Amino acid sequence: MSSNPSRRHPASPTRQGLPSTSATASLRQLLDSLSKEQRSNQELLVSLGFALRSFTNLNRFLELVPVVAARLVGVEGALLVPFHADGRLWNEQLQILTTARSEPVLQALNKHEPGRSSGFGSDDALVLGMDRLVQRQLGSAGVFATSLVARGRQRGRLYVFNPSGSLIWTDVHRRHVQLVADLAGVAIENDLMLQEARLHERVDRQLSIGAEIQAQLLPDHCPVIEGVELAARCRPAFQVGGDYYDFIPTRPELIGRRRERGRWALVMGDVMGKGVPAGLLMTMLRGMLRAEVLSGLPPDRILHDLNQLALEDLSQSHRFVTLFYSDFDPRTRRLRFANAAHNPPLIWRSQQRSVSRLDAPGLLIGLQPEAEYGVGSTVLEPGDVLLYYTDGVTEAPGITGDRFDEDRLIRSLESACRSGTGSQGILDQLFRRLDRFVGPDRQLEDDASMVVLKVREEVMLPSVPRTSA
């Protein structure tokens, strides 16, 4: 063995601590590949966001979701299972990236009995059962599942899977898939809100039409009746209301001055409830009553017959009607009246300068067959004021929570009558007093209607002294 020590060769300065040329090229290729993948993923997400803004067809957008999700993760399979608004499986909108196992998965979901029940999507145990069903249908494929959530509600599930084996999964993949699921949830929520807005638009149009029809059924102006002034107003709580007032000539064939001097029916009623159902019943009741008035019967008989006619329709709707019916003869100034449990009108006596109530016994219209009604009568004197109203006036809540009530209405009527104004002025004062009590910009809870009848003051001519012959 040689005793000479082995000779060391000095290291080349170009190789020490630096990668080889081939390693540098490989690193650059890897960075370029990652950069291209990142740009591709960004373009996919941007495209999906653009589709969300642009598509008005939800089905077209949902078709893209599994395609984008699969490409972001680099797998062959993806499945989107959206839910209806009530949580049921939305089978018509199942979207799957086509693979050899697509058809069995879709068939299994379409036959999944729990998915047909309302609230399925909000039950975590049932959703987990669907996850297991999907996994069974996909066999050994690696599966990742996440929820579509919008406004705190689960709107579906998104699955990505690799039919050929397990998933190569990273946190970036998870975030990408969740972002796609969130966009899909927003798309479904937007579509639901759009459908709801369209439904509200249709309902609003129908309500507007109903309100126009009802406004045409209520008198658009008060008739001319000899010796009295009339003023009326209905303020519905909704577009369509259940309050009803009417002025009906008992002999409609008369015209001109003969009609003004003829007998008139003055009616105030209220269908229990508000909105469209009450408005429809009010319309029905109006037609029946107008036909009854032509019979010329006294008020108690008219209410009796009206109750018999309307009983079946009202009982089926589980609603009742209060109605005050009166007829007025201008020649004698006599008012006859009957009451079906309505708020008794208030009468201001000009001579006594006090307010009292007009009432007669009687049951609600539609409560029971063969109901009997009492009848009353009174003579109105010059200056007397009669106020018909519905309970939406006296039951109106104020800012403090108190009701307007009858006592407050009586005091308001006394004040308005003492002012010496006409029927329209009295009506305006009463509504102003009601509005102040309820408070500015506050909606009435119930329909509020008032009719004011004032007997004109007799003109007293000054006496002329006699001259002696």
Q: Which residues, including other chains, have CB under 8 Å from residue 343's CB and lie 6 or more apart?
A: 322, 324, 389, 390, 391, 394, 406
Token pair recorded at residue 336: 């006859």
Q: Rounded to whole angstroms, what are the CA distances from 266 to 54, 140, 244, 440?
A: 60, 83, 11, 32
CATH number, domain with residue 340? 3.60.40.10
Same domain membership, residue 261 and residue 171 = no
156, 160, 188, 190, 191 from 150: Cα distances, Å: 10, 20, 8, 9, 12
What string of pLDDT tens digits covers the 469 residues of the chain? 334 433 334 444 444 444 556 666 655 555 555 555 566 666 666 666 666 666 667 877 888 888 888 888 888 889 999 999 899 999 988 988 866 778 889 999 999 999 999 999 889 999 999 999 999 988 888 888 999 988 888 899 999 998 877 777 788 888 888 888 888 888 888 888 888 877 777 766 655 655 555 555 677 789 999 999 999 998 877 655 578 899 999 998 989 899 999 999 999 998 876 556 666 777 788 889 999 998 889 999 999 999 998 888 787 777 889 999 999 999 999 999 999 999 999 999 999 999 999 999 999 998 888 899 999 999 999 999 999 999 989 999 988 889 999 999 999 999 999 998 999 999 999 999 999 998 877 777 778 899 999 999 864 434 445 554 4
Is 381 a domain residue? yes
Does the predicted TM-score (pTM) go above 0.85?
no
What number of residues does the chain have? Answer: 469
Question: Cβ(327)–Cβ(264) under 8 Å?
Answer: yes
188 in a structural domain:
yes
Counting the structural domains of the chain, the total is 2
Q: Are residues 157 and 236 in the same domain?
A: no
In a domain, 210, yes or no: no
93, 229: one domain = no
* Beta strand residue intervals within 184-300, DSSP E: 228-235, 243-249, 264-271
Q: In which domain, by residue range, is 232 found? A: 218-455
Same domain, 358 and 320: yes
Q: Is residue 174 part of a domain?
A: yes
